Structure 1
């Protein structure tokens, strides 16, 4: 009789469980409270049915049988009441979170259950990032509007003067060509930055040596440094640093952007030093200049798009588009690396850190 009771209890439990699963799937779009109620009711129903089946098979007569069933029924009622209270609190906290999300600006409510608190804190961080990006986009639009309008107005005036025969100086033609090249470089930088922000930057990775990258970058920057009267120096750690797995063209552009910015902000007779090595298990590329340093309040913002601090890397008369640091940061982060800047010596030191190549 006992075996039959166990089989009956197991069978009833399975049926109740299947029914509970079906109801929860059918009503999965309902509130958390409703789903919790289904779970509790299913658990209590399975317990009550199992106990009832065993009790009916046991040698219990009269009041003893009713006492057992009554105890189980009371337990089921108590469990249902507790579940109702808990589910009501969960629903209330969920609604509090929803109301906070709908408010502007969003501030994560405190005192939520741990899982909801994690969601709220994550949402607050995401909203903060979105606000920062939106602010950067607005600044970029204003910046582009200003820095495109100025050269275009000058080119229009020079073109009209040439067209009307007011002037015949070929220097106007040379100036127009110079401005066209500057605008073309600016558009190229904007396009590259948009690809980085859209996650559309495609990297062709291979094992490359950082010493070779430093040599190539110095060769490409020699003309600009000579025109500015700035010396270029290299310091390669011995033995030659371990290779990294990177896109040589993209990483070379990031390093070149740092070097060009360093040259532009280093006074004549100053020195820009490129160095590479391994530190803390990470390969690094560093560019040290003699710009006089960056105000501490600006150090964390120099990589922001369109940031213009007291000594920020901004568009200059020699054609800089002012987006070099933002592009460099995007390229480095696409390589799973880090980029930062600190004041050091007579200027500042920009450093790119990359994980060494595996294998």
Structure 2
């Protein structure tokens, strides 16, 4: 089925419902024409959303199903995971809100793996509270990598700025020991393929930041650039991947610098995300690159401080939905083109060029 014929199914996990998750989900879906563009499927609780839509004075209806296979196009579907009453305590994580966050993520991921949904969009979670209840990962990325048995890359994207991070949620004291030449090479290869396949960039140009101040200053402030990062960049460039750097992080994120590149690889979380969120906060989307399925999320957290006050801005969540849809279409078209491409080969019997379609 072509991307033009397919009504894309977007699965949504609820996150911590005592944060702003349900609010930004509903605000993103409140336009009555939204189901003309895609089929939303929320994995949560009908009673929870009925309560919160009244809190936020939103006029919208849900189509409740017990099984994701029963969803209907043209409706905002709710896979009703919890049928009991739910206690909402805005601004404070509870065991109940954490359990639902985990169960919603697990159900939505299962639907993604079974191809019952095409795109997964995750609302913000409280990582610490989930770890306390036995969740094994410090975030969505590690969980999805385990479920899909493949390494991904945390990739923050907007139209103009795309930033990946080599190391994710680890202490700064452990960053240096968690980078290596082979790891950086593998991550840049993932980014290169993602830019081609998911963002329609024919020949990507990727900038790499140094780990140390001033990118090591020739070895005076650390040798990781000389021993690890530069050799990885050189080897990739020699093999046809346009990779440049390492650049000093403190001066890189000026428009005259970063706009020359299609993506940036930072060495650690805050090195990449602090400038990204400063430049692109409202439009930013977190995309897990390199996985066989598509997952996006807003680039902010649970925001307990404004939960329940009708102050949450849904813009980043809406961007996450439509970025996921765009990536799905791009990937579908890329695969269609590859399946139907002309393959030129030399005939051994006739010693002439033939074209096979």
TM-score range, shorter chain: under 0.3
The TM-score normalised by the length of structure 2 is 0.24
Higher strand fraction: Structure 1 or Structure 2?
A: 2
The TM-score normalised by the length of structure 1 is 0.24
Larger RCO: Structure 1 or Structure 2 (Cα < 8 Å, ≥ 6 residues apart)?
2
Higher helix fraction: Structure 1 or Structure 2?
A: 1
